[in-house]
Structure 1
Amino acid sequence: MLLLLAACATATIETDTSPAVDSGLDSASDPSDSDDAGPEPLELCINEFMSDNDASVADETNAYPDWIELHNPGTTSVALDGWALTDDESKPDKSPLDGLSLEPGGFLLLWADGLEAGQHLAFELASAEGAVALYAPDGRGSVVNYGAIAADFSAARSPDCCTDAGCFEYAFRGTPGESNVVPVTTEVTLLSAGSTWKYLDGGADPGAGWTLPGFDDSAWASGPAPLGYGDTHQVTVVSYGADPSVKPTTTWFRSTVRVEGASSLNAATLRVLRDDGAIVYLNGVEVARSNMPEGAIDATTFASSSSSGAAETSFWTYALDPTQLAEGANTFAVEIHQHSLDSSDLGFDLALVGERVE
């Protein structure tokens, strides 16, 4: 078989002994039948493989055979009748793939364990220097030569099915059955710590509906966070009334934030500073409870414990389902509860961070 190095670029990954090299396309046809560009690229590629699977990915029997991943980057399904994988170029049909298929954009994980049944191949991968090749029914093939690769590391094309020089990379435990492309995420601050909040102090219950977007909080005071009393880090001081030995158990806070492109968020995180306990509502729905007892809560419910030291200025993190965020205006309502009526301090701040995949 004629090895046509000009057919596509070489892709390499440095290994312990020698690089893994995508040697390009191999054709069983007479070279005089080929044009200058060589054979057409295969519809599929050897996208990733692990030649020393020590304890990273188990098969259906909980064994740890070596594995090869095929990928179909195209837009149509490919039936694998007539296709084959091999570790020996002189035996291109060593492990036929008849009966299998690959959907558009799909990944197929095959076990290189010598069992030759279903998704188990007729050969094992050499743990030192070796080769793995994929052949199409018409004799076109793609050969990857590799050197020794550390245990539980895969050789993976990134991006998937790339052929450029250097496009193979190491990946600890690999990404079998999934894309090798690591998505790029962007963090978006939706509500900054230190933002301005409406608040109701003095212990007067705000009444029903105070967590809802349409609630009238026009008579509430406002100020930037951190809000509270009794500590030097607070920016806005809220009132606890005339008697420091009988302070209000609960103080209420509200803020509306606009979220643009809410549907494009794939994650969101709440960061809550609370002294002592807090319950956070988003558009009338409870989304976080921190240092508060379970069950029904009212204005007289005490926090579960007292905050002191570093806990008074710490932000507690809670995952928020991004689908709970509406496009446009979103109302956060927070109730801060004290652990006792004579608590020396109170504190509150909140931040919201979203994440988008680029």
Structure 2
Amino acid sequence: MSYIQPYNFRISLIFILALNQNVLANDPYISEIVAANDNSLRDNFDESSDWIEIFNPAEKSLNLEGWGLSDNPDTPLKWIFPHIEIEPKGFLLVHASGNNISEKGKPLHASFRLSRSGEFLGLSNPDGEFIDKFDPNFPSGNEDNAYGVPMMGELEEIIPAHSKFHYITPASTHASLDWENPNYNVPATWIYAQGGFGFVKSGSSFYKDLIKRKIPTSKRCLWIRKNFEINNLDAIKALILRIYYDDGFIASINGVTVASSNAPEKPRYNSYSKGINKLLGYENFDISEHIGLLKAGQNNVLSVKAFNAPNDRNDFFVMPILLCGKSSNIEPKKRTFLSFATPGKANSNAKLPRPSSPT
């Protein structure tokens, strides 16, 4: 099953200093939860346990030692944090797995799980006073539905679905090309066509109706690239790669890798993916940490190497979408379902991205 990169322990502190804060107090609060996790995050046991995200809105670090999380309003200190600090404007993840791990230097696991049908959830200080709580309960949701505090503005599509890309099915003669460089002069041998790209050999496939450009069924690897324009670089505070893929990919912006899944360790022109993507639909990759790669104007390139799996050769597909968003005022008490989950990072907004026409 495909999923966002497995959780490699570290306190997941992603700073959002660029966000305009409208926080009423400096107390930490529960910023996001997923109570029916499937693909949004894997814990250190490679399990898809539910998760809780805590945000520190203060201008100084906060030590949560002695604080508690609970799914019972009568037992505020049901699970207690160890000695652990959240940096200013930082996030901390707790896996709601029931494994009850509260040790300094280890991934945190609450002693309880979350109910997908909704239940009480609270964060209390060491005195047992609830500082933040979902009371009487957070709402029920489907798989991977994130619920929490919106932190991004409305998302816009820089590269919409079914946009045109230059593409090539690479051969050994292409192995040394610097084709991901923004200054690469694309030759006429590359085909310019509307995405998505792929094939279905026989039977039904989720991707069948999404394919706009068929490629030969003998191919296992595809390279695509697209120039795109940034008009107001300073306003961009969030960058999201939304991609449909079967079965692996490596995505780059202006020649620098920004996201990957099931990618071979040493990709070549004829590489296979190292796994099968069983996720039907798109996957979101928060690549906001790479906003600095963008350039004002037209000289930007999104490039994707797509790989098929050796044991899943009936279909092959790739279609990337690039989204951006501005920062937004944060109102901790105005929780809602979010566009997509962002564990340990600034939360997405409460709306789907504004649709655009293919470019």
- TM-score with structure 1 setting the length: 0.46
Structure with greater Cα Rg: 1
- TM-score with structure 2 setting the length: 0.46
The structure with more strand, counted as a fraction of residues: 1
Greater relative contact order (Cα < 8 A, sep 6+): 2
